[in-house]
Amino acid sequence: MLKLLISMLFLIPLCFIPRGWWMVQCMLFMMTFMFMLMGMVSSFFMNLSYFMGCDVLSYSLILLSFWICVLMVTASESTYRTMNYDMFFLVLVVVLLGLLYCTFSSMNLFMFYVFFESSLIPTLFLILGWGYQPERLQAGIYLLFYTLLASLPLLIGLFYVGDIQFSFWLPLCSKGNFSYVFCYLALVMAFLVKMPMFLVHLWLPKAHVEAPVSGSMILAGVLLKLGGYGLLRVFGMLTWSGLMFNYIWVGISLMGGVIVSLICLRQTDLKALIAYSSVAHMGIVLGGLMTLTQWGFSGSLTLMLAHGLCSSGLFCLANICYERMGSRSLLINRGMMNFMPSMTLWWFLLSSCNMAAPPSLNLLSEISLLNSMVSWTWVTMIMLGFLSFFSAAYTLYLYSYSQHGKIYSGMYSCAMGYAREYHLLFLHWIPLNVLILKSEPWMLWL
């Protein structure tokens, strides 16, 4: 595990080579495929080195981090073209990737906390440095304070666990049982904010709308998954208190998913719509995860991977439209089928994945999450029905409003995408639809 971390450290000086943008991208691709070939498909921790180790859960999320970070560099070509501090941008991406790599592979709870929090700093710099509107300052402060306020109790909770178990080592701690309400709240709350759960989700749409395309991709693709990862790890210790209190979070996340889906139906900003749809999807993940069943755990991991690829691809599409039209408003991005006919296919493919159409990974994961919640209690069927219906409704709204209708009168030309953009969208869509053919590692990882 350390060999990849050290290669990331040595990649940082290469970011300062003039015109070295594509070289860094190629090196990142090479590291991604190296990691892919390490193939740690086991429910035990493997490749142990110092404080790091890797099981299926860590492996899949590290691989997602690598993939999304490489595609961030591909998508942000306008930063390179305009020479907008492109070297510092590359350094931030590599540092963020290193921090995420350490977060997902830490087997020491304290080290996990340190990297979990420090991944916030490069994200904040991405939003503040390369965002579009002046409101990005407010968005950055929202992001910072929501996360930091919830994560101080997490630190105290982890120290308490370490004090009781005499160890911070994850496999030892996960055998403990902590059935105190305050301990439960302290350990769970930071991850609920990071997910984000409805009621503590307000930082997410703001951060997404103000962030550059790379910021949106990493937020939707990987940073929301930190919350799910933390919960999957922590519920080994919180089984008893989870059985007592988890129904509260299931209720909030399902109700919140329906309310957020209704909010999606009246958005006019492309990015805000996709950001709110992320909250609805993570609501389903949270609901399934909180049932503490095998279906729920495996479905939540699979939906986290599927949502990371799908949502990131949709943000890329929104950015492609923004670069051509100069606006993200649905009122101006109308009739794009006339303006960019070849992009309409990608809008269709990624939108259909967003509403869990076969053969996407979203379908498999949503079926297993529905299974877990309905078998937990049939009352959830009501909200799940609404949630499924509205998720299809807002995705159709997004697709039909942006692609069909009368084209905005200010536009009178026809543009095609670059090969780079088709390549970028292809690399989002292919794993999303091919991984379902070999889904055993994610569905049977427990």
422: alpha, beta or left? (left if phi > 0; alpha if psi -120 to 50): alpha
CA 408 to chain centre: 33
The number of folded domains in the chain is 1
In terms of residue numbers, what domain contains 128?
Answer: 1-444
User: pLDDT (tens digit, 0 to 9) for every residue of the chain, 446 residues total?
Assistant: 888 999 999 999 999 998 889 999 999 999 999 999 987 777 788 888 888 999 999 999 999 999 999 999 999 999 999 888 999 999 999 999 999 999 999 999 999 999 999 999 999 999 999 988 888 999 999 999 999 999 999 999 999 999 988 889 988 887 777 778 899 999 999 999 999 999 999 999 999 999 999 999 999 999 999 999 999 999 988 888 889 999 999 999 999 999 999 999 999 999 999 999 999 999 999 999 999 999 999 999 999 999 999 999 999 999 999 988 888 999 888 888 888 888 999 999 999 999 999 999 999 999 999 999 999 999 999 999 999 999 999 999 999 999 998 888 777 676 788 999 999 999 999 999 999 998 888 888 88
Q: What is the pLDDT of residue 366?
A: 94
Q: Which residues contact 256 (CB under 8 A, 6 or more apart)?
A: 197, 198, 199, 201, 279, 283
Q: What is the pLDDT of residue 344?
A: 94
Q: What is the pLDDT of residue 318?
A: 94
Q: List, in sequence order, every residue forming a beta bridge with 54; answer none if it has no partner.
A: 46
The span from the CA of 388 to the CA of 272, in Å, is 20
CA distances from 113 to 59, 108, 116, 175, 232 (A): 18, 9, 5, 19, 15
CA 4 to chain centre: 22
Q: What is the pLDDT of residue 219?
A: 92
Q: What is the pLDDT of residue 43?
A: 75
- According to DSSP, residue 256 is labeled H
Q: What is the pLDDT of residue 94?
A: 96
Q: What is the pLDDT of residue 179?
A: 76
Q: What is the pLDDT of residue 174?
A: 76
Q: What is the pLDDT of residue 173?
A: 84
> pTM to 2 decimals?
0.96
Closest CA to 277 of 327, 351, 343: 351
The span from the CA of 337 to the CA of 289, in Å, is 39
CA distances from 130 to 106, 181, 216, 224, 321 (A): 30, 42, 11, 20, 18
The span from the CA of 294 to the CA of 445, in Å, is 9
